[in-house]
Structure 1
Amino acid sequence: MTRADFPGNAPHTSQTAFLAAAARAAHLLVDAEPFVFSDTLAARLLGDRADELLAYHRLHGTHPILAGARAEAVCRSRFTETRLMRRNSGIDQYLILGAGLDSFAYRTSSRRFRVFEVDHPATQAAKRELLARAGVAEPVSVTFVPVDFEAEPLRERLVQSGLDPVRPVFASWLGVTMYLTPAAIAAVLRELGGFASGSEIVADHLLPPELRDAAGNGYVEAVGPVTAGRGEPWRTFLSPTALATLLHDAGFEVVEQAGQRQSIPARLWQRTDALRPAALSALAHARLPK
């Protein structure tokens, strides 16, 4: 098999999905304990690209851009899954928007959730091939829902795929909003706002320049042109207030908002490695009122 035959190089396959998975995998290999988030399957899902993608982190793990990528990936994942796994939420449908190489459904022993993974068809095809090559079975609780966020009706496709619209849903939307237009973000939130009362969402977003610190601006200046060169330009930067407004307009009540520093317990920032919190992005957790 040549490099061109590898699933991660198929047209329209998200290269960002591979880089995010590499950052989660590298956290366990490069950084010191206490680990912020343990994605024990991420390296296997990188397939034949694991050595290539992880080598950057192994060789240059203290570089602020690579350390920033790891911090970004593990903080948002921990924040999201901590809220998802609350025992008293009563939610058993988990919707992962822009799922990429997310491994929740394959590494958790919990069978509480029916998981709906939404992404571009090419990215999903690559992921399913990587799962098969890694010997990771697709649980019957997982449904793949191919959707183009900019062009297709999300709610309709989800209901057609078996999501129950009269029961609450927990949606995660990580590493996606920055690639969409503001109109597309608002449209997706409006569709999610049509789900059952008690439904929840966690979404992240990149901050505008005036809200970023030096580390955040350095990350954007270094990584933004690279993502654009791969055909995945960052289109939207939102302040917490702007995202809260979009959520409110879609019918959600904001439960909490957090920057990187506030997104995980303070003790986890007492580190001996290169991970440091940056004012680069923020997270919002919101709920449809009951």
Structure 2
Amino acid sequence: MREGKPSYTAAWVAALRGLAPASNGPDAPDPVARDLVPQPYAFTFELVERFPSLWSRVQDVAARYSAYHFNHVSLRTRAIDDAVLDAVASGARQVVVLGAGLDSRAWRLPSLREAVVFEVDHPATQAYKREKIGERPSFAREVRFVSVDFERDALEQRLREAGHDAAQRSVFIWEGVTMYLLPEAVERTLSVLEQLAARGSTLCVTYGQRYKRGPGAQAVRWLVRRSGEPFRALYTPETMGQLLQRHGFDVLADEGLREWVRRYLDTETRGSFERLARAVKV
């Protein structure tokens, strides 16, 4: 964790989300990302605005030659957005973003107007984000920042202090986090969610796949190791499903890039290193 700055992965994800290829279907760009990312990412946005046609061609080539792995972050974001909007439409009025990073859902999803959004993250990333977001109004009824170090602090206590109501349905977003935690920290967090999630609450959790050995997965592993944020906890769909079930969640869907490309871009591709499990508290 870099003092006074977001983590490298938080910056990468926000930049990729903000630069998403709108021409490639409904994975529309994140209009807030440009205001959140540090340099040199912000400079990239300036170049894209200056040369939009060139950027569009670069995106098309990158999508094809990467088997749509280039689109992974934006498609993952869209898949989680859809799950969140479904949960809110079904009555969830609390949205808890675990390891929020530079997430911008509270500032870009009008459907959250009746929801309280709890942004949970490390104090260093959170301080940076609060400064960057400034006075920008959110669509959410309220945004509450909850500072937590997942490997040291009591998540349950921090959320309760922030006003989270365990008797009301919530939607928990755990996006792009679990692979960077120790397995014990993942288990510990799920134990807390088991207590905090009212029956019918939704959990959207992404995870890195164990035994995924393709060149794309190896490239991602190399990149995160170089950033000083190595992967620690990896799962198979079966082991993740068993883990969630032990903590009171039934998996409704477990998807990855192949399913997202088919749904949102109406084409086919191979699978990816990261998957998304959508589960409901029973």
TM-score by length of 2: 0.85
When structure 1 is superposed on structure 2, of 280-289 and 91-100 the one drifting more is 280-289
The secondary structure found in structure 1 opposite 2:71 is helix
When structure 1 is superposed on structure 2, of 11-20 and 182-191 the one drifting more is 11-20
> How many residues are treated as equivalent by the alignment?
269
Distance 1:244 1:163, change over 3 A: same
Q: Tell me if the contact between 1:256 and 1:285 (Cα under 8 Å) persists in the aligned partners.
A: yes
State the AA in 1 paired with 2:246. Answer: D
Distance 1:165 1:40, change over 3 A: same
| 1-structure distance, mates of 2:240, 2:229 | 21
Within a 5 Å distance, the mapping from 1:172-211 to structure 2 comes to: 172-195=173-196, 196-209=198-211, 211=212
Q: Tell me if the contact between 2:217 and 2:272 (Cα under 8 Å) persists in the aligned partners.
A: no
Percent of residue pairs identical: 32
State the AA in 2 paired with 1:280. Answer: F
Q: Tell me if the contact between 2:173 and 2:205 (Cα under 8 Å) persists in the aligned partners.
A: yes
Q: Tell me if the contact between 1:60 and 1:66 (Cα under 8 Å) persists in the aligned partners.
A: no
State the AA in 2 paired with 1:242. Answer: T
Q: Tell me if the contact between 1:177 and 1:236 (Cα under 8 Å) persists in the aligned partners.
A: yes
| 2-structure distance, mates of 1:169, 1:250 | 16
Q: Which has the higher contact order (CA 8 A, sep 6+)?
A: 1
When structure 1 is superposed on structure 2, of 54-63 and 218-227 the one drifting more is 54-63
Distance 1:146 1:36, change over 3 A: same
State the AA in 2 paired with 1:189. Answer: L
- Residue 140 of structure 1 and its aligned partner are, at CA, apart by 6.1
- Residue 51 of structure 1 and its aligned partner are, at CA, apart by 3.9
TM-score by length of 1: 0.82
| 2-structure distance, mates of 1:93, 1:70 | 32
Q: Tell me if the contact between 1:79 and 1:264 (Cα under 8 Å) persists in the aligned partners.
A: no
Which whole-Å deviations, capped at 9, do the CAs of 1:127-178 have from their partners, x for residues lacking one?
Answer: 111112xx62356600000111111111111010111111111001010011
Which whole-Å deviations, capped at 9, do the CAs of 1:15-49 have from their partners, x for residues lacking one?
Answer: 11110011111114xx6332324422222222543
| 2-structure distance, mates of 1:174, 1:126 | 19
- Asked whether 1:242 is paired with 2:239, we answer yes
The secondary structure found in structure 2 opposite 1:102 is coil
Q: Tell me if the contact between 1:13 and 1:120 (Cα under 8 Å) persists in the aligned partners.
A: no
State the AA in 1 paired with 2:227. Answer: R
Structure 1: where are the runs of 5+ without partners? 1-7
Structure 2: where are the runs of 5+ without partners? 49-53
- Residue 70 of structure 1 and its aligned partner are, at CA, apart by 4.1
Give RMSD over aligned pairs.
2.8
